[in-house]
Structures are given as C-alpha cells and as structure tokens.
Amino acid sequence: MIENIDTNQKNSIDYINTECWQKRYEKPREVYSEASKIIHKCEEINYKKGLYYSKLNKIVCLFLMSEHNDQILKELYEIVDYFSQNDNEIGYVNSLNVTANVLQSYGDFKTALDFCIKAQKKAQILKLEADLADNFSICGLIYSDLFDFETAISNFKQALEIRTKINSETAMASSLNLIARNYALSANYSEALIYYNKALELRKKINDTGGLPWTHIGLASTYEKMNDYVTALNHYEIALNLNKEIGDKRCKLHCYFGIGSIKSVISPSKIAEEYLLDAKKIADELNARPLVYQIFKNLSELYERMLDIPKAFAYFKMYQTNKEEVVNAKLQNQLKNKEIVFAIEKSQREAEIYRLKHVELKSMYGQLQQKNREITDSINYARNIQMALLPSGDYIDQMLPERFILFKPRNIVSGDFYWINKVNDNFIIVAADCTGHGVPGAFMSLLGISFLNEIVNNLKIIKPDLVLNKLREMVISALNKNKNNKEISDGMDISLCLINENSLEMQYAGAFNPLFVFRKIKQNTDIELIQIDGDRMPIGLYIKDNEPFLNKTFKLQKSDTIYMFSDGYPDQFGGPLQKKQKFMKKRFKQLLFEIQFEDMNTQKQILENKLVEWMKDENTQTDDITVIGLRF
C-alpha cells in the first residue's frame, strides 16, 4: 500500500505523538494506551513516520513502568534504524536517548555511552535543548552506576543548566535531586543537603506531590549517614505523611525501612522490629528483593544489640541466603540482557562481532571488579566491628603493662580472637581459634566474644573450667546442633587462664590448646619450660561425648612469662622453597627459649621478624595467627 494519506490525518497523528512524548513522565500509563491506539491507526493507513513515533512512545512508557520485556531493545534498534534514514528528525535523538537509557539499566555502559554521544552531537546540531538535557541526565546515570560520581554530577549540572534556561521546573527538580543523591553517594553530605533543599523548595513551589516525598527521603537518608538520627526521622515521617495522598508503596517501603533502621540503632526495641517487619511485608509485595536482604541484615543487627544472639544469628543466615540469591539473579539477568544486545548488534553489524565480544567481556570484567570492591568494603567494615570488640590497647595497658599481643588475621577478618577482663583481683585472659578463617571464622569469633561477656559479666562465672563448660553449651545451642550428631562440628579451640594479681595463683582450662610457662632458674641463667595442656576436646560438638573441662592450678613466681597461642604460628609454611614445611611447635618453643631475656616489646618484634623471614620465599599466610605473652 502506497503512503498517500490525507495531510490532516498525518498532522493529527503527529500532534498526538508530540503530546504523548511530553506527558510520558507524568502519565506513562495513559500515554501507553494512547500510543497503542495510534500504532493501530498508523498501520491501517500505512503512515510510517507516525508509526515509529508512536512505537517509541509506547516503548518508553513500558520502560518507565518497568513492564518491558526482552524484545524492547530489538524494537528500539529498529526505530533508531528508521530515524537514522532522516537523522534531522527529532525522533532520531529521542530514540538514541531512550536506547541509551535502556542499555544503562541493563548494565551495558559502554554501548549506552556510544548512543549518548551520537544523540548529544545531533541534539546540539538541531538545537534540541530539552533532549540535550535528557541526554546529559542519562550520561549522569551511567557514570553514577560506574561509581564516577564527580563526572555524574557534572552531567547532571549540565542538564540542570539547560532545564533552568528553558524553565522546565519539574525536570529542574529532578536534576537537583539527582545531583544531591550523587553528592551523598560520594559522602559530600554538606553539598547533598544544599541541593536536596533546593529540590524541596522548588517542588513545594510547583506542588510536585509525587516528587516531594522522595526529596524528603533523600534528606532523611543523608542525615542518617551523618548520624543525625533525629532530623533523619523527622524527614522520614514527613515523607510518610505526604505519601498518604499518593499511596506510593515504594515510598512507604523506604520510609518504614529508614525509620526501623534508625530506631534499631538509637533505641533497640520491638518498635524498631515492627517497622522493619512492615517494610519486609511491602518489599515482598513489590518483589523488592535487594531491600529484603537489607532488612534481614538490620534485623540481625537489632537482635545483636538486644543481646538475643540466636535470633541475630538466624536473621544473619537469612540475610546471607537472600543476598546470594539476589546477586546471582542479578548477574544472570545482566548476562541475559547482554546476550540480547549482542544478538541484535550481530544481526546488524556482522563485521564488528569480535569487537563487540571484547566490549562484552570488558564490561563483565568491570562488573566483577565492582562486585569484588563491594565485598571487600563489606569485609573491611566487618573488620572494624571485630577490632572494636577486641579489648583496646589502653584497656590492656592498665591491667597488664608487661605483655605483647601478636595478632595477624590471614584475611581481612579473623577466626582467632583474644579476650581480657578483670574481676576484682583476678585477670581473665583468653586466646581462641575458631573453626575456619575469614568471614565464617570471624562470625564464630563474634559469638565467642559475646558469650564470654555474658558468662563473666552477667552470669558472674569466672572459674576457667566452668566458663568453658558454659561457653560450649551456649555455642552448641546457638548453632542449633543436634546433640546426637557425632560428626565434628563448628566450634573453637581455646586457652583460658585466671590469675590472681596478689597471690599469683593461676587457674587454667583449655580446649586442645596448651599454655607455656617459662621460668628462670639457677640465678636467672637457665630457663625452664612448663607446659600445661588443655583437654583433648573443642568448644563445640565432638566425635566423643562431651566431658566436663578440667581446672588446673599453678603457682606463678615473679618474672615468670606465660604464652597463650593459636596453632597459626607453628603451622605456618615457609623455609627454603624446595623444602617447604611448617614452622612446627618444636621450632616455636626453641624460639621462645631464645627470647626469654628480652623485654616483651622486643619479643613481639623478634617473633614478627622471624615469621617474615620464614615466609620470605613467596609463601602466603595459611591461617590466622595469635600469640599472647605475659610477664609477672
């Protein structure tokens, strides 16, 4: 059929398409319905230009409503191809921008930027200011996803400048919000607050009821990061009240999550739990799975603050499980989206197939690098928590000035831990080695520290054998193990001694780990080693029935030096490369003999130097290392 239709019909369709494009953000569902009708009309009269404009309107609304499918890119590429035949059409710039936005959401940043550059050049030539502002905004989103917040802000500011010039106030408010968000993401909170407040003022002026709650949520989130919880709560409450008019469930979800998170920090209670559980309910309804696992994480931290360790552990397991599922699903979806992009490009430009493969691999490599950075950042934060729970140097100095602690995690966090406390005239010193190292071992160490605080400080148990018996009972209960299970389970090896500072009487109990006492004899010219062994069973279930731990007493003398340690130092591989072997306890004992006439700080330095020398032939650390030395 030849395209030969009445000019009035064409003009009417063109007018409706233009109106639809302008209303796409405010009323996407209405525009989608109208565009579908125009598509049908254009197909009837064979009006191709009107057909492709209406297709573009329909697709952009599907994208804005998050209701698009795998075919959206294929259709966009067809629309771009059509308008490229007459690239002076505004539809060419529009279709390039939309395609870039979709590619950005798929995580294909390289291809998205290619489309942005094409659209930007053409928009400048045709002097399409609104479309140029949209283009800068899309570029900002891409760079924000790449964690290049400085470049993202620069693009959003260019978009704001254009939108201010053409007096597009709704779009201006959006730009201000995006600038503020990226300042917050880059931890520049003062600038973030300036731009959020500008967005707030403008949205109040134009009565942007849909945007106002989100600006308050942005302000709340920023104040929350600044630890100004009172102001943050106020903004979350305002956002919640404003949202009553529009009933946006996503907005309600973020408000409940924010309020619950803050209350769990400033006043851990059932009220905080209720907000978080309400947020979880809405997140389930909206299938907002990334927020679901964040909610589980916050619930775990809430119960930890409330000292309900079993519930904290249960929610932490739910957090880990859900996070892994979300990350895997996200990666699978990204890979699927990349396959779609690749297939389209291949069909259009067969000659560029190898270049595109390279781009895909590079993009995926970038994603893996980013994931690795995120995981490392999380573990570094966990390390800060773990180090905060270990006794501080100042605290130990007040009690035990003549001592050293050599503590070297294999990874960022450690499965080893040490614990020191004083009850009346008695010092309690612990060196422990939990099952595993890294994150699993570190989580066990947090349980161990929490339980020791509970046993000694709250239950007032200080006798070493009784402490270990109670600790074993609590570990088994927390890990929800069946006592009939005879397999070797998670737990820890431990040395624990109680020393009276007046009488120097020492009581000791151990789970596998021994304790060494070095004593000077014959007018301090010879050294004697006294080894006190622990029981041959761990803190945890064992292949044999768990027997009570034994308490051993020993009378210390002035100038005695005691050592408590994990198996990390003796088990470290090293030596000449061709004779790679463990350091071994025999060599460790001999080294301790050799340093007995040194002060404690020097002893620690010698132990560290010897370890470096032993590992010098490119041997990595194989386990967490803890050595505690005390002299009386």
In the chain, % of residues over pLDDT 70: 84
- In the prediction, which pLDDT does 552 show? 95
Q: Band of the pLDDT at 361, cuts 50, 70, 90? A: low
The Cα 319–Cα 295 span in angstroms is 8
* pLDDT value at 160 more than 80: yes
* pLDDT value at 156 more than 50: yes
- In the prediction, which pLDDT does 3 show? 44
Residue-wise pLDDT for 225-264, tens only, equals 999 999 999 999 999 898 887 777 888 888 899 888 898 8
For 441-588, strand residue ranges (E) read 492-500, 505-511, 515-521, 526-532, 552-555, 561-565, 573-574, 581-582
> What is the pTM assigned to this prediction?
0.50
- In the prediction, which pLDDT does 70 show? 62
The Cα 416–Cα 418 span in angstroms is 7
The Cα 213–Cα 211 span in angstroms is 6
Per-residue pLDDT, averaged over 607-625, amounts to: 84
Per-residue pLDDT, averaged over 128-138, amounts to: 90
- In the prediction, which pLDDT does 351 show? 39
- Strands 625-631 and 573-574 turn out to be unpaired
In the chain, % of residues over pLDDT 90: 33
**Between residues 175 and 490, which one has the greater pLDDT?**
175
- In the prediction, which pLDDT does 222 show? 92
Name the 3-class secondary structure at 221: helix
Report the run of H or E that residue 430 belongs to, with start and end. strand 426-434
- In the prediction, which pLDDT does 253 show? 86
Please, what is the angle between helix 72-84 and helix 48-64, to 10°? Answer: 140
- In the prediction, which pLDDT does 352 show? 46
- In the prediction, which pLDDT does 326 show? 56
Name the 3-class secondary structure at 569: coil
Least confident of 257-266, 280-289, 566-575: 280-289
The pair of three-digit structure tokens given for residue 603, joined into one six-digit string = 């002893």
- In the prediction, which pLDDT does 494 show? 95
Per-residue pLDDT, averaged over 563-568, amounts to: 93
Within a 13 Å sphere around the CA of 322, how many CA atoms are in the beta-carbon half?
Answer: 20
Asked if 65 contacts 29 with a C-beta cutoff of 8 angstroms, the reply is: yes
- In the prediction, which pLDDT does 35 show? 87
* pLDDT value at 627 more than 70: yes
- In the prediction, which pLDDT does 202 show? 92
The Cα 627–Cα 632 span in angstroms is 17
The Cα 564–Cα 586 span in angstroms is 15
Report the run of H or E that residue 335 belongs to, with start and end. helix 309-348
- In the prediction, which pLDDT does 439 show? 72
User: Cα–Cα distances in Å, from 521 out to 157, 403, 499, 530, 558?
Assistant: 77, 21, 22, 12, 12
**Between residues 153 and 8, which one has the greater pLDDT?**
153
Least confident of 161-175, 199-213, 381-395, 478-492: 478-492
Q: Band of the pLDDT at 543, cuts 50, 70, 90? A: low
Within 10 Å of residue 517's Cβ, how many Cβ atoms? 18
Residue-wise pLDDT for 135-155, tens only, equals 999 889 888 878 888 988 999
User: Cα–Cα distances in Å, from 58 out to 24, 55, 104, 417?
Assistant: 9, 5, 19, 60
Q: Band of the pLDDT at 304, cuts 50, 70, 90? A: confident
Q: Which residues contact 572 (CB under 8 A, 6 or more apart)?
A: 582, 583, 611, 614, 615, 619, 621, 622, 623, 625
Least confident of 293-297, 477-481, 504-508: 477-481
* pLDDT value at 586 more than 70: yes
The Cα 479–Cα 267 span in angstroms is 27
- Strands 505-511 and 515-521 turn out to be unpaired
- In the prediction, which pLDDT does 353 show? 46
The Cα 570–Cα 331 span in angstroms is 42
* pLDDT value at 106 more than 80: no
Label residues 3-40 b or e (16+ Cβ within 10 Å = b): eebeeeebeebeebbeebbeebeeebeebbebbeebbe
Please, what is the angle between helix 90-106 and helix 109-126, to 10°? Answer: 160
- In the prediction, which pLDDT does 62 show? 83
Residues present in the chain in total: 632
Per-residue pLDDT, averaged over 621-632, amounts to: 90
- In the prediction, which pLDDT does 366 show? 67
Domain layout of the chain by residue ranges: 392-631
- In the prediction, which pLDDT does 487 show? 46
- In the prediction, which pLDDT does 410 show? 86
Per-residue pLDDT, averaged over 267-280, amounts to: 87
Q: Which residues contact 270 (CB under 8 A, 6 or more apart)?
A: none
User: Cα–Cα distances in Å, from 427 out to 127, 435, 604, 606?
Assistant: 78, 26, 21, 26
The Cα 253–Cα 578 span in angstroms is 61
Within 10 Å of residue 48's Cβ, how many Cβ atoms? 11
* pLDDT value at 168 more than 70: yes
On average, the pLDDT of the chain sits at 83
- In the prediction, which pLDDT does 2 show? 37
The Cα 490–Cα 476 span in angstroms is 9
**Between residues 377 and 132, which one has the greater pLDDT?**
132
The pair of three-digit structure tokens given for residue 233, joined into one six-digit string = 């709560």
CA-nearest of 534, 540, 498 to 515 is 534
* pLDDT value at 200 more than 80: yes
The Cα 162–Cα 208 span in angstroms is 20
* Most confident stretch, 20-24, 196-200, 272-276, 353-357: 196-200
**Between residues 491 and 455, which one has the greater pLDDT?**
455
Residue-wise pLDDT for 32-45, tens only, equals 899 899 889 998 88
* pLDDT value at 630 more than 90: yes
- In the prediction, which pLDDT does 328 show? 54
Question: Which residue pairs from 257-262 have beta carbons closer than 8 angstroms and sit at least 24 positions apart in sequence?
Answer: 257/283, 257/291, 257/294, 257/295, 257/298, 258/217, 258/220, 258/221, 258/224, 258/232, 259/233, 260/295, 260/298, 261/224, 261/298, 262/224, 262/229, 262/232, 262/233, 262/236
Superfamily classification of domain 392-631: PPM-type phosphatase domain (3.60.40.10)
The Cα 283–Cα 254 span in angstroms is 9
Q: Band of the pLDDT at 577, cuts 50, 70, 90? A: low
- In the prediction, which pLDDT does 428 show? 95
574 DSSP β-pair partners: 581
- In the prediction, which pLDDT does 335 show? 47
